[in-house]
Amino acid sequence: MCGIIGCVSEKDCCGILYDGLKRLEYRGYDSAGMAVLGETLAVFKKKGGVDSLAAFYAPGNTGIGHTRWATHGAPSDENAHPHRAGKIALVHNGIVENHAALRRELEGAGERFASETDSEVLAKRIARAYRGDLLSAVRDGLSRAEGSYAVAVIAEDRPGELVAARRKSPLVAGKGQSGAFVCSDIPALAGMAEYIARAEDGEFVRISSGEIEFFDASLRPVPKTFFRAPQAETWLFAAGGDRMRAEIAEIPRALSDTLGALRQTDLAPCARALRTAKRLFAVACGTAYHAALAFAYAVERDAHIPVYCLSSGEFRCRPPLIAAGEVLVAVSQSGETADTLAAARLAKERGAYVIAVTNVGGSSLTAAADFCLVMRAGAEIAVAATKSYNCQLLCLNYLAAQLVFFKETALPPWYDALGDLPAAAQAAFSAFADVDRLAGALTGARAMFFLGRGQDEPTAKEGALKVKEISRVFAEGMPAGELKHGPLALVEGGFPAVCLSTQASLAAKSENTLAEVRARGGYCALFTQQQKWLKESCADVRCRLPALPEPLMPVVAVIPLQYLAYKMCLARGLDPDKPKNLAKSVTVE
C-alpha cells in the first residue's frame, strides 16, 4: 500500500523521483521521502504528502523514493522511508511479518533502530550483508524475511547502481531515454519509460551501466521480454482541481475507449470454458466486488446459470468448491489487489480457467489469468474508484453477452445499446443539479441508507461505499426488502434514504419501500429513469436518470451517486482525493 520508485538517470534524478512519487501518491500519502546518490548519499524524508519533498534537492543520478501508507509505526519523519543503515538506503512496500523476531535478533547484535517500522529491519540486514556486492547483499538480507516486499536499495559507494527485489508486492522495471527505473506500478512510469518488464515473485532486478538485468532467487540471470509502456496520453493525469471530480468527468470517454478495446478483443480463447460452464465464480474487493455482484445478476438473468460471487478475501476462507474446468472471473482495477490475486492463483491451482477484468494491462492479475479483458479507463488516481467501476460494468456486461452467445448462439437484446453508454453517461451528468440540492439537504446527516432491489442492489452498495469513504458519513447499502428486517429501527425524523429504481417490474416495490421510510419521518431521495411509474409524491427529492435498456442502467445509475459522495465530502470540508486511512491499491492481505 506504499509506492516505491528507483532510478539511475542520465541527469539529476530528484525531479524524476518527485514526478514518479506524485503519480504513486494514490498508494499512500502519510509520509514521503527520497535518497539521492551523487558524491554523497543525501536522504530527505517527511511526514505528509509528496508535496513536502518539493523543497528538497540534491545532485546525483541514482536515487530511490517512497510514499507511505503506514502499517507499522505511525506516520512521522522517523518512520518515513528511505531507511538508512550503514552504507545502504532502502525503500519498501509490503509487510515483513516476522519483523519483531528479526529486530530482536539485530538488537541483540548491537543494532539500534531509528524507526518503529518493519522495513528498517530489512535495511539493517542488507547493510550487515553488504561487502561491495549490492545484489548479493540484497539477496542475503532478504533471505529470512517473511511476508511481502518490493524493495529498492542503493549503496553510498555504488553510484549508478540500484538493486530491487519483489515478493508478493508489485514491481516493474522500465527503460526510456532519461534512464532506467523500478517502480510499484506501470502507470506511474508512463512518459518516462518506453519499455517495461515485470518482476515475478522471488526475482531481483539490477540497474547498472544503464542496463536492466533480472535474476532468479539463486542470482542466475533471467531473460525478460520488455513490452511497450502505455502511451503517456492514455494515462493522462487529471490536471488541476481534484482528481475524483475530474475522473467522474472522464466516464463518457473511458466508456467509449473501453468499448473500442472490447470490440477488438478476440474472446475465442475463452469460448470453450464459457460454453461448457454450468456455473461461474466471481471474485473482487470493494468497488470491484460490487461490479462482480452486478455481473452475477446479469449472467443469472441472461445466461441462466448461477454465479457464486465472493469478496476475494473470503474466497480462500470458504470450502474450496471451484474445480478443474470451472471458470473464475477476477475483477480488479489495479490488477494488484493481494486478495484478488491470491483468489485467482488458488483457482488456477485447482485447475480452473481464470478470466481477469482489469484496468492495467501487464498487472500481476493479467499474468495470473488465462484470459484478460483490459478496460481503458485510463489512470485512476483518486482513491475512490469511479470511472473504473463504470468500465468494469461495461466489460462484465460484454462478457455476459458473449457467454449468452457461446451458449445460445444469439446475443441478448440489449447488446447493441452498449454503444449508447458513453452518451448516456454524459446525459447522467444532467442529474447533478438535483444532486447538488440533495447534498445540501444532507449536510447534517450522520448516517444514511442506500436501497435497491434486483439489479439496483449492487448500485446501492456502491453508493454507500462511496459516501462512507469520501464523506465519512456512515452509509449502508442493502436490498430494499431487508429494510423491515431490522434497519428500519434506525429511521426517524429526517433520516435519509436514497432509493434506486431502474426496473419497471420492481417500481411498485420501490414505492412501498419509500412509503415505509416516509411513514417514519425519513427523508427520501429517488433515482430513476421511470418518472411516470412512481408517484410524484413518493420522495422528497427525485433525480432523473437517462433512459437505456433496463439491463444497462446500472452502468450510468451510479454516476449521480458517485457525484453525491463527492459533494457531501466537499460540504464537510474534506479532501476527496485523500480519504482517511485508505490507499488506492491494497497490495497487502
Pairing label, strands 161-167, 204-208: antiparallel
Active site residue 584: yes
DSSP three-state, residue 66: strand
587 in contact with ligand F6R (CB under 6 A): no
| CA distance linking residue 41 with residue 38, whole number of Å | 6
Chain centre to alpha carbon of residue 103: 32
CB nearer to ligand F6R: give 543 or 586: 586
* 170 near ligand F6R (CB under 6 A): no
- Which of 179, 286, 496, 551: binder of ligand F6R (CB under 6 A)? 286
CB of 288 to ligand F6R, least distance (A): 4
> Cβ of residue 435: shortest distance to ligand F6R, in angstroms?
18
Residue range at the interface with ligand F6R (CB under 6 A); choices 168-176, 198-206, 282-290, 426-434: 282-290
Binding span for ligand F6R by CB under 6 A among 22-30, 137-145, 286-294, 483-491: 286-294
Beta sheet of 496-501, edge-to-edge order = 474-479, 447-452, 496-501, 523-528, 541-544
Interface positions, 447-466, toward ligand F6R (CB under 6 A)? 465
404 binds ligand F6R (CB under 6 A): no
Spatial separation of the C-alpha atoms in residues 299 and 278, rounded to whole Å:
11
Nearer to ligand F6R among residue 405 and residue 566 (C-beta):
566
Minimum Å gap between C-beta 335 and ligand F6R is 7
Which residues, 6+ apart, have CB-to-CB distance to 573 below 8 Å?
none
Q: Quote the DSSP letter at residue 143.
A: T
Exactly one of 5, 288, 303, 498 binds ligand F6R (CB under 6 A); which one? Answer: 288
Among 256, 287, 530, 587, binds ligand F6R (CB under 6 A): 287
Residue placing its CB nearer to ligand F6R in the complex, 217 or 261: 261
Shortest separation between residue 566's beta carbon and ligand F6R, angstroms:
12
The interface region with ligand F6R, picked from 130-138, 329-337, 407-415, 476-484 by CB under 6 A, is 329-337
Tell me if 480 sits within 8 A of 511, measured CB to CB.
Answer: no
Cβ proximity to ligand F6R: between 127 and 186 the closer is: 186
Contacts of 159 (CB under 8 A, 6+ apart): 37, 38, 60, 61, 62
Nearest-approach distance from CB 59 to ligand F6R, in angstroms: 37
Cα pseudo-dihedral 125, 130, 133, 136, rounded to 10: -30
Measured from the CB atom, the residue of 427 and 586 that comes closer to ligand F6R is 586
Backbone angles phi, psi at 84, to 5 degrees: -105, 135
Helix (H, G, I), strand (E, B) or coil at 276: helix
Residue type present at position 127: A
From the candidates 2, 13, 285, 395, give the one annotated as an active-site residue. Answer: 2
Binding status of residue 248 toward ligand F6R by CB under 6 A: no
509 is catalytic: no
**How far, in whole angstroms, is CA 294 from its chain's centroid?**
18
Burial track 433-444 (b if 16+ CB lie within 10 A, e otherwise): ebbeebbeebee
> Is there binding between residue 184 and ligand F6R (CB under 6 A)?
no
- Rounded to an integer, what distance in angstroms lies between the CA atom of residue 274 and that of residue 268? 10
Among 168-176, 280-288, 321-329, 537-545, the segment contacting ligand F6R (CB under 6 A): 280-288
HSE-up (13 A, CA, CB side) for residue 324: 1
Question: Which of 52, 333, 397, 459 touches ligand F6R (CB under 6 A)?
Answer: 333
Residue 340 found at the interface with ligand F6R (CB under 6 A): yes
For strand 523-528 and strand 88-93, is the pairing parallel, antiparallel, or unpaired? Answer: unpaired
> Per rule CB under 6 A, is residue 334 in the interface with ligand F6R?
yes
Nearer to ligand F6R, 115 or 340 (CB): 340
Stated as kind and residue range, the H or E segment containing 124 is: helix 119-129
Grid coordinates given for 365:
492479475
The dihedral through the CA atoms of 423, 426, 430, 435 has a sign that is positive
332 binds ligand F6R (CB under 6 A): yes
Is residue 187 part of the contact set for ligand F6R (CB under 6 A)? no
Among 161, 203, 302, 469, binds ligand F6R (CB under 6 A): 469
Q: Between residues 117 and 169, which has the closer beta carbon with respect to ligand F6R?
A: 169
Contact set for ligand F6R, span 415-444 (CB under 6 A) = none
Indicate whether 126 belongs to the interface with ligand F6R (CB under 6 A): no
The answer, yes or no, to whether the previous bond of 82 is cis (omega within 30 of 0) is yes
Q: For residue 569, which phi and psi values (nearest 5 degrees)?
A: -65, -50
Q: By CB under 6 A, name the one of 285, 347, 377, 396 that touches ligand F6R.
A: 285
CA pair distance 421, 487, nearest whole angstrom: 34
Does 384 engage in binding with ligand F6R (CB under 6 A)?
yes
Distance of CA 440 to the CA centre of its chain: 30
Q: Is 577 in the site for ligand F6R (CB under 6 A)?
A: no
Positions annotated as catalytic residues are: 2, 584
Contacts with ligand F6R, residue ranges (CB under 6 A): 285-288, 332-334, 337, 340, 384-385, 465, 469, 585-586
